[in-house]
């Protein structure tokens, strides 16, 4: 508490970089007992007022300070969070306010909500007395009074405050979400004879409705019509009391049983022992490298059980794409209502309530994507980052943090153990183990069943042999066997839409988005071309706009076309399609998975979202229709990511008693990533990648920063990029290298031109500090925005 201090340090919630520091404010005597680190406050800022958060105190100041105007609520974070926010701002070159928002409740930018409470005697004037009566019994929001008393509300409130009858109060509200309080009415006593007029039918009806017990005001309104006025009258007579009760919006979902196995595998025992030893040592990092089906989730569950038994808490991070009802259901099955879930498919109100349950200490486990890392759990013992190799753990907007690295920092600050789990650990995780910054535990065998048999099909050879189908002969035969045996299959297609693009066979013209430098995709359901970046759409031309040729042909296959081909070839196999189109609606993800689970036989067809997090023992075949897509990305991680994707989706096969098969279709069968999946031995790939990255100075053997400049004028963006590159080359020390500038691989997006330059630095270099100092001299051109991504996961 800062109650004894007269000066509070406050971060103002603003995007202005000019205010990227804590400001000092005097704590007035009437607020001295309410001010603590983490409390939201109302502060004067220039000629207006703003929301801020107390981050510390000071003994003295050299300035004449303005006083805090109000305390807006209880603390939202602690001193450790303040320190972590400072580290995030420094490391990822964001503002302190942006970093601090990570620790705040979900629900959008906060605003001030005014309310009033009774402070004195009722006034004599009838209209003012009516408003006073409406407030009587508790605190009432001014917005509620405005609905009842109209435009005169503010004037009436001001007069009652000046007279001492009412007292102003302020609270923090969020536009997208916040706590929901239901009003409940209770009958305190029966009316005395003649106390209610005989024609006061609404009051008599309310008394009758409440005679059996308390009823919520919304239920009373639904049954009796508007009840606010008669309720206020009954409350003023002491016949009825009205109280507010918090209502929690809990996300609905199926509970998937997670039976507790009697015996663990040797790999699971080794992993749990490593986690126990790290906890006993007061913290540390453990990399659990377990093949798909090796029981990593059971390791997480057992480690969390022990933490909860010790009165501690745990956070489990999973990539959004893997946050399936299956994943959540396993944790809820084991821990029940002690689990809170935070993810983007929840409503804003549900996300707020899940966060608040954690803040109140009513849950002990939080499961979610990267944002769940900042859940306000107390006594944290364990942070699990499942599928730690996933690129989605990197935030794409400021602050551009990587959840894996922030988790490492939080675990160290809270005395918790960090568990990094993956069947395909990242190069960064492997390097950390080699340097002694983490301990690796391998789980090389499945809990039940053998690893699936992998077949790589050369599609170029298929074409030269005269087989022109999108499905190779081995895949067609395997699907036929699935159909005959009434089993299930999973098919991965790394695209969406009916075809990837439209191409003129006469001149090579491909229709592109006018705003985004990418080819337009044809969607059969609407018969239009659509941009997958900005959403723009256009008609399909009857002839080539460039040369007038009628030979426009659809190239490539999307999920809709593959679905149609499957339906034609395998009538007995129902197809459940999961892609960005079919999962766009609320609850669609869970509904489609439930639909596939309910089938006795069928095919799950989808994009990368089906590659991980799914566990269906009846799936015996996995087919990869096009393995090459990610290999052609302009990214030094392309080989590693392709291997991870293929290995993850291959792991969906043969998780039950029946043996599994994996068929990978590719035009590049001798690529190291494909060979690693086919042989089941990734060591060659990782050794080759490590040598190549060390030679070319790429992570984890160096640090990178991507400096991206965007704007509406291509000329301005190009010239601003040249100026930024020149400035950095002059300012950065020896050992740093500036590549570029050049147009970004995605040169135009949503009407903005994009240029970038890449900064390489030694692995131990303090890249953020050097860049921050160097860019202080940068004077951005009007209309051009500069953003820095430290330790980027891609440079697209």
Cα(157)–Cα(140) distance, integer angstroms: 11
Q: What is the mean pLDDT of the chain?
A: 87
Return the pLDDT at 37.
95
Cβ contact 795:745 at 8 Å = yes
Q: Is the pLDDT of residue 469 over 90?
A: no
* Selected residue with higher pLDDT from 320 and 763: 763
Confidence class for position 643, pLDDT limits 50, 70, 90: very high
> Exposure of 221 by Cβ count < 10 A (0-12 exposed, 13-18 middle, 19+ buried)?
middle
Residue-wise pLDDT for 442-452, tens only, equals 999 888 778 89
Mean pLDDT within 644-667: 89
Return the pLDDT at 555.
60
CA-closest candidate to residue 68, choices 149, 4, 128, 9:
9
pLDDT-wise least confident of 465-479, 602-616, 624-638 = 624-638
Most confident residue range from 115-129, 381-395, 554-568, 627-641: 381-395
End-to-end CA distance of the chain: 47
Mean pLDDT within 60-88: 92
Paired sense of beta strands 501-504 and 552-555, if any: antiparallel
Q: Is the pLDDT of residue 255 over 70?
A: no
Return the pLDDT at 322.
60
Residue-wise pLDDT for 507-521, tens only, equals 768 787 787 566 777
From the CA atom positions of the chain, what is the Rg in Å?
31
CB-CB neighbours of 545 under 10 Å: 10
Q: Is the pLDDT of residue 3 over 50?
A: no
**CA–CA distance from 738 to each of 148, 638, 726, 730, 787 (Å)?**
64, 22, 9, 10, 16
Cβ contact 728:778 at 8 Å = no
Q: Is the pLDDT of residue 499 over 60?
A: no
* Selected residue with higher pLDDT from 494 and 144: 144
pTM: 0.82
Residue-wise pLDDT for 36-64, tens only, equals 999 999 999 988 888 999 999 988 888 88
Q: Is the pLDDT of residue 496 over 50?
A: no
Q: Is the pLDDT of residue 341 over 80?
A: yes
Percent of the chain with pLDDT over 70: 93
Which DSSP string do the residues of 389-417 spell out, in sequence order? T-GGGB-SSSS--BHHHHHHHHHHHHT-E
Return the pLDDT at 94.
93
Tell me, rounded to whole angstroms, the distance of Cα 516 from its chain centroid: 25
Cα(31)–Cα(169) distance, integer angstroms: 13
Question: How many CA atoms lie less than 13 Å away from 256 in the CB half-sphere?
Answer: 15
pLDDT-wise least confident of 186-195, 253-262, 594-603, 694-703 = 253-262
Return the pLDDT at 1.
40
Return the pLDDT at 673.
92
Mean pLDDT within 339-365: 87
Cβ contact 654:662 at 8 Å = no
Q: Is the pLDDT of residue 5 over 60?
A: no
Confidence class for position 4, pLDDT limits 50, 70, 90: very low
β partners of residue 119: none
Return the pLDDT at 516.
58
Paired sense of beta strands 439-443 and 284-290, if any: parallel
**CA–CA distance from 131 to each of 48, 54, 128, 184 (Å)?**
28, 35, 5, 20
Return the pLDDT at 376.
96
Residue-wise pLDDT for 377-430, tens only, equals 999 999 999 999 999 999 999 999 999 999 999 999 999 999 999 999 999 999
For residue 246, the surrounding DSSP H or E stretch is strand 240-247
pLDDT-wise least confident of 352-361, 626-635, 762-771 = 626-635
Return the pLDDT at 278.
96
Return the pLDDT at 505.
66
Return the pLDDT at 498.
44
pLDDT-wise least confident of 6-10, 125-129, 277-281, 532-536 = 532-536
Cβ contact 702:760 at 8 Å = yes
């Amino acid at each position: 508490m800062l109650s004894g201090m007269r000066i509070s340090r406050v971060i103002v919630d603003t995007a202005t970089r000019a205010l990227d520091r804590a400001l000092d404010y005097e704590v007035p005597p009437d607020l001295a007992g309410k001010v603590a680190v983490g409390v939201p406050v109302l502060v004067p800022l220039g000629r207006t007022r703003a929301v801020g958060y107390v981050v510390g105190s000071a003994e003295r100041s050299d300035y004449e300070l303005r006083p805090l105007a109000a305390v807006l609520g209880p603390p939202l974070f602690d001193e450790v969070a303040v320190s972590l926010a400072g580290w995030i701002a420094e490391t990822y070159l964001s503002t302190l306010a942006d970093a601090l928002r990570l620790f705040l409740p979900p629900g959008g930018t906060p605003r001030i909500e005014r309310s009033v409470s009774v402070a004195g005697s009722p006034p004599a004037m009838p209209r003012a007395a009516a408003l006073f009566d409406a407030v009587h019994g508790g605190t009432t929001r001014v917005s509620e009074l405005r609905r009842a008393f109209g435009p005169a509300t503010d004037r009436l409130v001001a007069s009652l405050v000046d007279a001492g009858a009412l007292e102003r109060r302020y609270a923090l509200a969020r536009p997208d979400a916040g706590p929901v309080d239901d009003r409940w009415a209770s009958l305190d006593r029966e009316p005395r004879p003649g106390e209610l007029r005989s024609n006061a039918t609404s009051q008599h009806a309310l008394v009758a409705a409440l005679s059996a017990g308390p009823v919520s005001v919304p239920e009373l309104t639904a049954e009796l019509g508007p009840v606010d006025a008669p309720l206020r009258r009954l409350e003023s007579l002491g016949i009825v009391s009205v109280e507010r009760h918090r209502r929690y919006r809990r996300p609905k979902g199926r509970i998937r049983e997670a039976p507790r196995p009697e015996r663990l595998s040797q790999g699971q025992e080794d992993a749990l022992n490593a986690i126990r030893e790290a906890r006993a040592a007061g913290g540390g990092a453990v990399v659990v490298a377990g093949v798909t089906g090796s029981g990593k989730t059971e390791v997480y569950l057992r480690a969390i059980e022990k933490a909860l038994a010790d009165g501690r808490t745990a956070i489990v991070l999973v990539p959004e794409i893997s946050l399936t009802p299956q994943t959540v259901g396993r944790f809820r099955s084991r821990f029940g209502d002690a689990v809170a879930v935070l993810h983007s498919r929840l409503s804003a109100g549900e996300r707020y309530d899940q966060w608040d349950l954690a803040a109140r200490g009513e849950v002990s486990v939080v499961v979610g994507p990267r944002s769940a890392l900042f859940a306000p759990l107390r006594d944290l013992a364990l942070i699990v980052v499942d599928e730690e190799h996933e690129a989605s753990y990197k935030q794409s907007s400021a602050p551009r943090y990587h959840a894996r690295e922030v988790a490492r920092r939080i675990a160290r600050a809270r005395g918790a153990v960090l568990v990094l789990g993956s069947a395909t650990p990242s190069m960064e995780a492997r390097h950390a183990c080699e340097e002694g910054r983490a301990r690796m535990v391998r789980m090389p065998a499945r809990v039940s069943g053998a690893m699936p048999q992998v077949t790589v099909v050369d599609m170029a050879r298929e074409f030269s042999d005269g087989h022109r189908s999108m499905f190779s002969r081995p895949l067609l035969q395997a699907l036929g066997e699935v159909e005959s045996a009434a089993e299930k299959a999973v098919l991965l297609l790394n695209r969406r839409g009916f075809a990837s693009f439209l191409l003129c066979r006469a001149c090579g013209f491909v229709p592109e988005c006018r705003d985004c430098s990418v080819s337009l995709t044809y969607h059969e359901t609407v018969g239009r071309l659509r941009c997958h970046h900005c959403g723009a759409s256009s008609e399909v031309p009857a002839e080539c706009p460039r040369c007038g040729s009628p030979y426009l042909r659809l190239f490539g296959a999307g999920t809709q076309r593959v679905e149609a081909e499957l339906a034609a070839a395998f009538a007995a196999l129902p197809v459940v399609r999961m892609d960005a189109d079919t999962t766009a609606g609320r609850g669609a993800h869970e509904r489609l998975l439930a639909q596939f689970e309910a089938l006795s036989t069928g095919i799950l067809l989808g994009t990368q979202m089906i590659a991980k997090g799914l566990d269906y023992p009846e799936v015996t075949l996995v087919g990869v229709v096009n393995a090459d897509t990610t290999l052609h990305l302009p990214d030094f991680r392309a080989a590693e990511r392709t291997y991870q994707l293929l290995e993850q989706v291959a792991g969906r096969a043969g998780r039950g008693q029946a043996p599994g098969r994996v068929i990978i279709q590719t035009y590049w069968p001798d690529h190291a990533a494909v060979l690693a999946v086919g042989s089941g031995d990734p060591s060659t790939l990782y050794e080759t990648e490590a040598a190549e990255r060390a030679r070319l100075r790429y992570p984890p053997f160096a640090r990178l920063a991507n400096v991206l400049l965007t704007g509406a004028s291509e000329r301005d963006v190009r010239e601003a990029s040249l100026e930024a590159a020149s400035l950095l080359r002059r300012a950065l020390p020896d050992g740093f290298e500036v590549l570029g500038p050049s147009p970004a691989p995605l040169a135009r997006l949503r009407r903005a031109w994009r240029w970038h330059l890449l900064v390489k630095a030694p692995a131990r270099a303090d890249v953020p500090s050097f860049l921050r100092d160097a860019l202080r001299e940068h004077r951005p051109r009007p209309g051009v925005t500069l953003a820095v991504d430290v330790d980027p996961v891609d440079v697209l």
